Amino acid sequence: MPHPNTDIIPTIEGLAYGGDYNPEQWPREVWDEDVRLMRDAGVNLVSVNIFAWAGINPGPGEWDFARLDAIMDLLAGAGIKADLATATASPPPWFSQRHPETLPVNAEGVRLNPGARAEYCPHAPAYQEAVVEMASRLAERYAAHPALAMWHVGNEYYRSCFCDLAADAFRAWLRDRHGSLDGLNHAWGTTFWSQTFTDWSQVLPPRISAETPNPGLVLDWRRFGSDALLALFRSEADAIAKRSPDKPITTNLMVTGDFSGLDYHRWGEHMTGPNRLVATDHYLIPEHESDIEWPAQVAFGADASRGLAGGSPWLLMEQAANSSAWRRGYFAKRPGDQLRHSLSYVARGSEGAMFFQWRASRYGAERYHSAMLPHGGPDSKVFREVKAFGAQLQRLAEIKGSTVVSRAAVLLDFESCWAAATPGQPSSDMASYPEIRRWHAALWRRGVTTDVVNPAWDLGGYEFVFAPHLYLLDSDAHLRGYVERGGTLVIGPYSGIADRNEHVHPGPPGAIRDLVGVRVEEFAPLPEGATIALDDGTEGRTWSEAAHPIDADVVASFTEYPSTGAVFRRRLGDGEVWYLATRPTDLGPLLDRLGITADAPAGLELVRRRHADGRTYLFALNHTGAPQRVDATGEDLLSGRPWTPASTLDAGETAVIRERAAARTRGR
Ligand code: GAL
């Protein structure tokens, strides 16, 4: 992966620590306590003004910056920097009342009522103009403020709208993409069900219709939605950059849950490079609702964020100190979880750790969301850990600007994830994204640091590349090049099936058929919960297919259908490619076959960051219940103690070992 930028927040000394700070919810005297406790906890960066539109711009043409001035001055006086937000994520009631066309319309055609946040139509000119004005005014006023560290545009972009303004914008986007109505008719295959368009005015968003909508429409709508929000982000970012050219600009992307809502690889192009940085929010799925344990979830969120940043350092902008208000059921993190999670993000390239939010709110929709400073006050498990981690981060300042060393990659293509979820698929259980996460977790359990990357990138540096589900693919050329030059590629089933218009390639598995040397005669999806046995003692789930080798070795077959293969391997050039005709219930045996054995006990997480000059740091996180030996030589920055290969890490403990030059040779 490219490394375009390693100094992402230059005005912060060392690593960033803090969270969303909403002093507008509190009387003035509380602010003083906030700042005192922040300093106590080592907080050096807070995100302010995210939901403060109503205060700054209380009516049409009315502007009042007094409160924000006071907040910024308070922070500057305390030596705390601001991640200053543009406040555009939540238009106030007066704005929606004055511009009712800015309220979003859902797929049923119902205009939503005001009363919550993110209530805007991305295509409404009044909203588009208002956000640029807001960003411009803020940038003019605060560009030179001593508290300003960086700009935070909007908040967690995700909104879509199905109104007539959206329909117009969609048509313009489609003209651009497909050139002509003929081009559109071809791309969407409108001869099917007599859907041929004869005039652009007939083209509509995928509003609720009588039957299964055209999958081409559904897919293009998602692309369009992502591009429209990216344009909004860019309009604010450009307005800021003109007035505040020397400060980094970001927005908080979401790597939470199924985060494939936007095409973040396209976003990444505008969030990396000079004065840009990738920032992400990550909220964990409660362990009782997931088959992936928390440390592995943390690792995925972090590795995916690093992927969006092209391998550069990035920033964890939000995590929960404890429970998330919007998750079903309240849950508490166990003692030590928060410390280990925060350190794992840093190990995996984050230049610090931030939370939503600093102080728990007394009112509002998120009054029961956890915070760095809980309702229980500073004498609490959460705040004690917040303080402890702040102190740890200060000892890690020297790792700033280093990047993560990884030997494997998992491929993630957002368009492909969307296309695999369009209506009318042979199985509604073949979602891509959970499968990508599952493969990543299997590698995590083997101690392999894995990048989560765009398949179009240069994959040359990886020993192993995994493509759990790459449904959309026009050509195998790029992947073939990786294999021929010596890489090992593993491809999951139902990959290479359709092209970018989601037209099915004849002769499955279509675009990868020659690459994997396998012919698929027919698909045989499995009912939910069912498994299929393989003759090597393993099992598959969700999917199977009648697959035959053309030019590949059959490594394992389905026991019921011995004439068809289930796992194939083909040597190609200097490398090899594996193809799976089912989703393995357990990925362990496959990793065994590939020779990927754990070189540390399960639950001992080891990740290395490296500076361009060769200095390396081994992060060791002991998620197990017993002491573990960590084979490294150097000094633990957290405890200050020398580290030898005989040193052990107590249960639940963490170390960051600055490695001696001679010990740096082994990669992970
Ligand atoms: C994020 C959002 C924050 C807050 C948080 C609670 O998605 O950016 O404003 O709502 O969730 O988990």
pLDDT tens for each residue of 191-209: 999 999 999 999 999 999 9
Can you tell me the distance from the alpha carbon of 646 to that of 637, in angstroms, rounded to the nearest whole number?
Answer: 17
> What pLDDT was estimated at residue 286?
87
Can you tell me the distance from the alpha carbon of 74 to that of 57, in angstroms, rounded to the nearest whole number?
Answer: 21
Q: What domains are defined for the chain?
A: 18-165+206-398 (3.20.20.80), 408-593 (3.40.50.880), 604-663 (2.60.40.1180)
> What pLDDT was estimated at residue 665?
47
pLDDT tens digits for range 559-608: 998 889 999 999 999 999 999 999 999 999 999 999 999 878 999 999 99
> What pLDDT was estimated at residue 510?
98
Work out the average pLDDT over 211-238.
Answer: 97
pLDDT tens digits for range 85-139: 999 999 999 999 999 999 999 999 999 999 999 999 999 999 999 999 999 999 9
pLDDT at 331 over 70: yes
CB atoms under 10 Å from CB of 302, counted, come to: 26
Work out the average pLDDT over 288-317.
Answer: 95
Work out the average pLDDT over 297-325.
Answer: 95
Q: What is the mean pLDDT of the chain?
A: 96
Q: How confident is residue 4, by pLDDT bands cut at 50, 70 and 90?
A: low
Could you tell me if 411 and 456 are in contact, meaning their C-beta atoms sit under 8 angstroms apart?
no
Closest C-alpha residue for ligand 1 atom 11: 356
| Three-state DSSP state, 317 | strand
Known active-site residue 635: no
pLDDT tens digits for range 53-71: 999 999 999 999 999 999 9
Ligand 1 binding pocket includes 281 (Cβ within 6 Å): yes
Q: How confident is residue 663, by pLDDT bands cut at 50, 70 and 90?
A: low
Backbone angles phi, psi at 386, to 5 degrees: -60, -45
Known active-site residue 521: no
Could you tell me if 179 and 383 are in contact, meaning their C-beta atoms sit under 8 angstroms apart?
no
pLDDT tens digits for range 249-274: 999 999 987 777 899 999 999 999 99
> What pLDDT was estimated at residue 428?
93
Ligand 1 binding pocket includes 7 (Cβ within 6 Å): no
Work out the average pLDDT over 265-287.
Answer: 94
Q: How far is the CA of 363 from the centre of ligand 1 (A)?
A: 15
> What pLDDT was estimated at residue 668?
39
Ligand 1 binding pocket includes 318 (Cβ within 6 Å): yes
Sign of CA dihedral 334, 339, 341, 342: positive
Can you tell me the distance from the alpha carbon of 559 to that of 541, in angstroms, rounded to the nearest whole number?
Answer: 14
Ligand 1 binding pocket includes 356 (Cβ within 6 Å): yes
> What pLDDT was estimated at residue 328?
67
CB atoms under 10 Å from CB of 576, counted, come to: 18
pLDDT tens digits for range 479-530: 999 999 999 999 999 999 999 999 999 999 999 999 999 999 999 999 999 9
